[in-house]
Amino acid sequence: MRVFAFLSVVLLLSACSETPTETKSKEPEKPPAPITAEQAFRYTYPAARAWAGDSLPLRIRSIHLTDVPAEPGKAGAWEIIYVSQAQQQAKIYTWSAIEASETLHKDVFAGKAQAWSPSGQEKPFEASAFHIDTPAALETAKAKSAAYLDKPGTKPAVNFLLEFTPRFPEPVWRVMWGETAGSAEYTAFVGASSGQMLGKI
């Protein structure tokens, strides 16, 4: 009888010590979303610095993806060219919201280093010179471009290109209504440091 009572107590204690297993439901994956240029810069900059300690951005450009919904001042992918004066090399880094192609992979991806020399019109700029993000640049461009925007007809999608050339005293956003600088229907130039409208074509 005592043995039976002892076994009952042991079984009761072991049953109490067992914790029920919780079934955790896996959260659905968030749909791909576009980001701003400043976000893309923050994602790629550490990788570029790991490649070359003196690397600086030379050019930042947006890439629109049909499978990623567009938002003002944002893009589904970005391409940033970093250069190293010490190594005399350039390297392309991309960020993409999705696996888009053989050369445009999801998240941060680094291309192969290529020879580069500071002889062209474009020159690298310090990260500290890049204060104005693409949504703010777009708002400034829109506010100063009523003559173009009020014209009847469908406008092309907006693309962004950041570069530093002798034309302006600071790195400048090209806010382009069109695919490229050469084919854009209209372009507004917005200072990446000052946020001021510097010109339009």
Residue 22 lies in a domain: no
Residue 9 lies in a domain: no
Residue 129 lies in a domain: yes
Using alpha carbons, select from 83, 76, 74 the residue that is nearest to residue 111.
83
What is the domain count for the chain? 1
What is each CA distance from 186 to 23, 61, 156, 199, in whole angstroms? 56, 16, 9, 11
Residue 148 lies in a domain: yes
pLDDT tens-digit profile, the chain (201 residues): 443 344 344 444 444 444 444 555 666 778 889 999 999 999 999 999 999 999 999 999 999 999 999 899 999 999 999 999 999 999 999 999 999 998 899 999 999 999 999 888 899 999 899 899 999 999 999 999 999 999 999 999 999 999 999 999 999 999 999 999 999 999 999 999 999 999 999
The sign of the dihedral angle between the CA atoms of 67, 71, 76, 81 is: positive
- How is residue 72 written in tokens? 């003002």
Residue 173 lies in a domain: yes
Q: In which domain, by residue range, is 136 found?
A: 37-200
Residue 136 lies in a domain: yes
Nearest-angstrom CA–CA distance, 160 and 175? 5
Give me the pLDDT at residue 13, please: 44
Beta pairing, strands 89-96 & 77-84:
antiparallel
Nearest-angstrom CA–CA distance, 141 and 129? 19
Residue 191 lies in a domain: yes
Using alpha carbons, select from 108, 1, 113, 129 the residue that is nearest to residue 45.
108
